[in-house]
Amino acid sequence: SHPFLCPPGIKCGGVLSAPSGNFSSPNFPGLYPYETECTWLIVVAEGSSVLLSFSHFELEYHDTCAYDYLQVYNGAARDRGNLLGTFCGHSPPPPFSSAWHVMAVVFRSDRHVAKHGFAAAYRKDACGGQLTGLSGEITSPRYPESYPNDAECRWSIGGASGGGPLTLVFADFQMEGGQGCGFDYVALFDGPTVTAPHLGRYCGSARPPRTISSTPHLLIIFKSDFNIGGRGFKAHFYSAGECQEVFTTIKGNFSSPQYPNFYPNNLKCQWSIQLPPGYQVKVFFLDMELEGRSSLTGGCDYDHLSAFDGGTENGSLLGQWCGRESLAPITSRSNRLLLVLHTDRNTAKRGFSISYVGVVPMNVSCTRTDFHIQIPVQSLAQLERNRIYLGTPSCAAQVVGRNFKIHTRFDTCGTESQRRNNTSVIVSTLYIDFSVGDQEDIHQYEVQCEPKKKEASVTLIAGPDTSRLSQAENLVDAQQWEGEAIDAPEIKSQDTSDIVFISICILAGLLMVIAVVGLVLL
């Protein structure tokens, strides 16, 4: 529907660009019309925020506001990543402060039951305000121009439903310096008021460190004195509950904030996987839908997920993804892997769901007749040796010095001979049982040997939570399995063609014998 759709003769919606103003539902204080949709876009000076409040509110009630409703957006309308709330009934929305200089309000009525509607007022707030979204951006007054003298601004962040601790990241910072930051400064408090614990006081040109509150509230105070200014600052905040996590367990899973609902805009989330030395991290993408690629560059310029080897953004980039893709698993080269989600100011999507498993460090070798498998005890320190076995539990590992060792002949321990890529290989399955109580958790590795070359390899074939990973596990070594699936028919077709060729030769031979006999008789 058109953003300013209204019945003939009814005027509603529009762009509100004055520093302050009022607006209301059509016919207010009378009953609003049926089948009406209005959008008000409030745009004030960049660097300011919009303060929105409701003096009257009465819409048709429904549990999920499915009939008549009012929606408030922290930015452009119709972008679920910007949605601050949907409201109906008699309880007015709380006062809102936008996280930047744009706010949108959408009103919609259906074809039944009209009420008196709403009356709202807004004003430009030069700086500061109550910010209730899960994410947003704040800037000093007039940023990036020099901020005014004698300014004082207070941003109180928090109160979002389901919000966890808050993360604040400064993208730019340049203010008057001075020992003790007594002139111009930014002060941070771990709560809604100045009586909360002090998190830091900053000035000069060095960017403050990333700050994470211990509560769902954060107070930011900006103050300038009577002379000497600077460019000021620009900072992003977001709820850190689902957005900043560190994993040290051998397996785990996580998803984008609010998954499978739309993720918030303006995020930078980090998930750090840190495993013991020697491990590698294998990541399975169970589901992913982000904003798509740029039509201009073809790149992931808007929202994207990046993976870095080594645990920091300075590490080598393992991949960067966006849009709606079905991704094969990735494996780190080290024992640390960092995943970073960036989202911009608009066009949110469902997000992603990911599982990971640590690939156990092991040394696998073989001769023409035997497998040799060696795993450092410290990598599996919590496991008994009988939890590590090849093929069957009777072929359990032995503890030799600082290693679990399995030394077995090819004719034991469930080992079998196969042909792959026209080569004879010996294959078995190594089981590592991490199960605790009723929670079954058995990791499986395929060990393979090419006896002629005495070359061995190992591949993770099943990790944790197989019900969740069943879809991803099919991808684990899809190319390898596809290769086998293709090879097998080739082998069969080759064998069949040999039989056909021999049959033709025998038939030709018989025909020649008959022909010769016929000539002799003639």
Residue 71 reports pLDDT greater than 90: yes
State residue 175's pLDDT score. 95
Residue 39 reports pLDDT greater than 80: yes
pLDDT, tens digit (0-9, with 9 covering 90-100), for 88-136:
999 888 878 777 788 999 999 999 999 999 999 998 865 777 776 667 7
Do the beta carbons of residue 457 and residue 467 sit within 8 Å?
Answer: no
Q: Decide which of 74 and 28 is more confident.
A: 28
**Across 39-43, 74-78, 393-397, 463-467, least confident range:** 463-467
Quick one: 354 and 397 in the same domain? no
> Could you tell me the sign of the dihedral formed by the alpha carbons of 429, 432, 437, 440, in that order?
negative
Q: State the CATH number of the domain containing residue 351.
A: 2.60.120.290
State residue 480's pLDDT score. 31
Q: Is 180 a domain residue?
A: yes
Domain C-terminal end among 359, 376, 406? 359
Quick one: 255 and 353 in the same domain? yes
Quick one: 134 and 29 in the same domain? no
Report how far residue 475's alpha carbon sits from residue 327's, in angstroms, rounded to the nearest whole number: 8
pLDDT, tens digit (0-9, with 9 covering 90-100), for 300-349:
999 999 999 988 888 899 999 999 988 889 999 999 999 999 988 778 89
Residue 263 reports pLDDT greater than 90: no
Nearest to 79 by CA among 61, 119, 106, 97: 106
State residue 488's pLDDT score. 30
Helices and strands (DSSP H and E) totals, the chain? 2, 36
Domain C-terminal end among 336, 359, 382? 359
- pLDDT band, residue 522 (cuts 50/70/90): low
**296: burial class by Cβ within 10 Å (0-12, 13-18, 19+)?**
exposed
Do the beta carbons of residue 118 and residue 58 sit within 8 Å?
Answer: yes
Residue 246 sits at φ, ψ, to 5 deg, of -120, 130
Quick one: 87 and 18 in the same domain? yes
Q: Decide which of 517 and 332 is more confident.
A: 332
Two tokens, residue 20: 């302050």
* Whether residue 95 has a cis bond before it, omega within 30° of 0: no
Two tokens, residue 160: 């979002």
Q: Is 98 a domain residue?
A: yes
Do the beta carbons of residue 329 and residue 282 sit within 8 Å?
Answer: yes
Residue 265 reports pLDDT greater than 90: no
Q: Is 76 a domain residue?
A: yes
Report how far residue 292's alpha carbon sits from residue 266's, in angstroms, rounded to the nearest whole number: 16
Task: Give the β-pairing of 14-16 and 37-43.
Answer: parallel
When divided into structural domains, the chain yields a total of 4
Do the beta carbons of residue 375 and residue 397 sit within 8 Å?
Answer: yes
Residue 416 makes CB contacts below 8 A (sequence gap 6+) with 426, 427, 428
Instruction: State which residues form the domain around 305.
Output: 244-359
State residue 91's pLDDT score. 84
Q: Is 479 a domain residue?
A: no
Residue 514 makes CB contacts below 8 A (sequence gap 6+) with none
Percent of the chain exceeding pLDDT 90 equals 49
Q: Is 486 a domain residue?
A: no
Helix (H, G, I), strand (E, B) or coil at 520: helix
Q: Decide which of 521 and 208 is more confident.
A: 208
Mean pLDDT of the chain: 83
SS3 per-residue string spanning 58-126: ECCCCCCCCCCEEEEECCCCCCHHHEEEEECCCCCCCCEECCCCEEEEEEECCCCCCCCEEEEEEEEEC
Quick one: 387 and 331 in the same domain? no
Quick one: 263 and 341 in the same domain? yes
Quick one: 339 and 390 in the same domain? no
State residue 485's pLDDT score. 31
Cα distances from 346 to residues 273, 416, 461, in angstroms, run 29, 55, 39
Quick one: 144 and 235 in the same domain? yes
Q: Decide which of 5 and 255 is more confident.
A: 255
Residue 322 sits at φ, ψ, to 5 deg, of -155, 180
Q: Is 279 a domain residue?
A: yes
Quick one: 254 and 347 in the same domain? yes
Most confident range, picked from 264-268, 353-357, 463-467, 489-493: 353-357
pLDDT, tens digit (0-9, with 9 covering 90-100), for 150-176:
888 888 888 655 567 888 888 899 999
Domain C-terminal end among 125, 151, 171? 125
**503: burial class by Cβ within 10 Å (0-12, 13-18, 19+)?**
exposed
State residue 162's pLDDT score. 54
- pLDDT band, residue 513 (cuts 50/70/90): low
Q: Is 223 a domain residue?
A: yes
Quick one: 202 and 248 in the same domain? no
Quick one: 108 and 170 in the same domain? no
Q: Is 156 a domain residue?
A: yes
Q: What is the mean pLDDT of residues 291-300?
A: 91
Q: Could you tell me how many residues make up the chain?
A: 522
- pLDDT band, residue 293 (cuts 50/70/90): very high
- pLDDT band, residue 426 (cuts 50/70/90): very high
Which DSSP string do the residues of 277-343 spell out, in sequence order? Answer: TT-EEEEEEEEEE-----TTTSS--SSEEEEEETSSTTSPEEEEE-SB-----EE-SSSEEEEEEE-
Do the beta carbons of residue 101 and residue 202 sit within 8 Å?
Answer: no
Cα distances from 131 to residues 96, 160, 327, 483, in angstroms, run 7, 9, 37, 55
pLDDT, tens digit (0-9, with 9 covering 90-100), for 219-247:
999 999 988 889 999 888 877 556 778 89
pLDDT, tens digit (0-9, with 9 covering 90-100), for 447-500:
999 998 999 999 888 654 433 343 333 333 332 333 333 233 332 333 333 444
State residue 163's pLDDT score. 63
State residue 438's pLDDT score. 86
Quick one: 256 and 192 in the same domain? no
